[in-house]
Chain A
Amino acid sequence: MSTDSNQSEGRIIPEGITVPFTDDYESLRNSVERRLQQVYGSGTYLSDFYIADTGSLAISIGNTFPKDVSDCRPNRERVIKYISLDDIAELSGERDGEFYYIELPSRSSVEQGFSDAQENLRNELDQAMARATYEKIATTPAVENQLNPIKQILRWTRLYHPVPFSEVRKAQDKKGDKTLQYVRTLEELGFIELRDGDLHPRRPLEKYDLGEVQGEDFNKKILGEVIEQGFDRLSRDLQLGILRHLPKFANGYYVAALEVNDPDLHLDIESIQENMIDWYGSSARYHKFELRDKLDFLVRNDILEKEGDIEDESELYFRSNKDVYEDMSATATL
């Protein structure tokens, strides 16, 4: 194996590598990929490779990693699935006579790009899960309770518009500027508008008047829409924990099912826990009693299905709800 020196202190890889010049695009691309695999791991591939007229190289790399997606039922073969993440780092190179010299970013910066890409994929999957399940969870008591202040603002704006914001704040009697925070969130999501001290409904809210959607149906539909549109803001900015956690538990199952493209994948509680830790880190480790409660919540709300012996967890499996799986596979990119 040839090496390039310049190994700086504390850095296990050199500052750059050289690859012999060739006119053959495919051959050059393959030798660059092979060299970069030695530096950044054998899952490395070129997600983009461009040779400018000047002879400069612009390279984007991706990485592929393994995941265990085995069905947990007895006598099933172990299945290892690889997942690719594009564009985790950008590299550049220059032609120097009979060689290309490619500068190498540190391995820690490439690893950071890899983690960022994993996080993006995770967020995308969480949002896909929120979209696939928002109607199912909008009216469950736990979610409805957390979203009650949001629901009040929407209902009062719809009934009394234009309604003075000061009245809404007084009616909610929340500490600090919580009510204003909810209003700002609903404004950003385009449901209402705060103008000259009054709240006005906007199009997504007005359309319920036209359809004369009332009572429980209004709650279910409008809250579902709020969750769908505002999953990110509601779960992070307003700390609505159940929204942030629910996709995590559901995706502990669904990510594996989507990866292996099998809605009939059966996973036990232990595997779902392992998947959650793989995707969300060690903060996603839960006591098995709590995990079982959360998974049962998903089953009660038709987000997961269970099969086997509910008394004996070693023979209890979770599998897809057909509708959720179809929605997820239509929108999630794995």
Chain B
Amino acid sequence: MTLSDQDRTQAETTVSPFNAQSGLGDDMPNVIWNMLQELSNRPNVPDGVNIGKRTIFDLCDQRSIGPVTLDIEHRLSAELSDYPFEARYEEGLKISELGDIIDDPGCSYPATELAMEKYDPDGYDVQPSGQGRARKLRVLVLTVNHESVLYYDPLRYGKVNHDQLSGIETSEIDKQKFVSAWKGRSETTSTLWVEETEQSRLARFNA
């Protein structure tokens, strides 16, 4: 089954209000910020779930060396503790499980880490360092189907090339190529998302 026009239109509508990253290495806080902004815009989700750019930069301790991802889900959950949502981080998820998260209305879109050495991006070219190294890139996954993945790639935007900043668009990649970059050299996937707490789901079910 290929992606339908409806899939594409919906993904475009989702990403068009996203904020571009301000520095080329700000992908982690930028993806979390857009993730929470989109979640907070859904019906019945409190606005406060969008905890704001400054708070997100602080909990990532964003610096020139990059963010801290160790325990990020605990720090993010602590920030969301006033609301019936918590952050989840999992290693080793499969692509079908990623699809389940996207389909679950109680979950945000999931952020995944891609290994740049194995990633052939849509819309720009990547050159690893002379030693063959690069940072990992966080993207926000919007749609997964049998053949392709639609996602938001923050590295397509921000800094220089101002003429390319006319609007944020979705990126598309072959599913197998996505999985290869997601697994990376270590053959382990990593995924971060925010979901409704169990108590909240039960309360809603019993209401």
Using a CB–CB cutoff of 8 Å, the interface residues on chain A facing chain B are: 1, 3, 12-14, 17, 30, 34-35, 37-45, 63-70, 77-84, 88, 107-108, 110-111, 114-115, 260, 270-271, 274, 334
Contacts and interface: CB of A to CB of B under 8 A. Distances in A.
A217 B185 CA distance: 58
Contacts of A17: 70
Nearest to B66: A41
B65 A110 contact: yes
Q: Which of B73, B155, B160 has the most CB of A within 10 A?
A: B160
Interface string B1-40: 0000000000000000000000011000000000000000
25 contacts: A1-B71, A1-B89, A12-B68, A35-B70, A37-B136, A42-B66, A42-B135, A42-B136, A43-B25, A64-B129, A65-B25, A68-B159, A69-B127, A78-B125, A79-B125, A80-B124, A80-B126, A82-B116, A82-B127, A84-B131, A107-B61, A107-B65, A111-B64, A114-B65, A274-B159
Contacts of A3: 70-71, 74
B25 A70 contact: no
Nearest to A86: B131
A1 B70 contact: yes
Q: How large is the interface on B (under 10, 10 to 19, 20 to 34, 35 or more residues)?
A: 35 or more
Contacts of B130: 84, 334
Main SS class of interface, B: loop
Contact of A64 (B89, B113, B123, B134): B134
B200 to A, nearest CB: 23
Contact of B64 (A35, A39, A114): A114
A81 B127 contact: yes
Contacts of B69: 37-38, 42
Contacts of A13: 61, 68, 70
B187 to A, nearest CB: 10
Q: Which of A1, A69, A83 has the most CB of B within 10 A?
A: A1
A84 B129 contact: yes
A42 B136 CA distance: 5
B127 A79 contact: yes
A78 B186 contact: no
Contacts of A110: 65
A312 to B, nearest CB: 15
A59 to B, nearest CB: 16
A82 B135 contact: yes
Contacts of A64: 129, 133-135
Contacts of B160: 68, 70, 270-271, 274
B166 interface: no
B134 to A, nearest CB: 4
B127 A111 contact: no
Contacts of A43: 25, 65-66, 133-136
A12 B61 contact: yes
B91 interface: yes
B161 A78 contact: yes
A168 to B, nearest CB: 48
Contact of A80 (B24, B73, B75): B24
Nearest to A74: B163
A77 B124 contact: yes
B164 interface: yes
Given A1-B89, A12-B75, A66-B155, 5 more contacts: A43-B25, A45-B131, A69-B127, A77-B123, A270-B162
B68 A67 contact: no
A35 B128 CA distance: 21
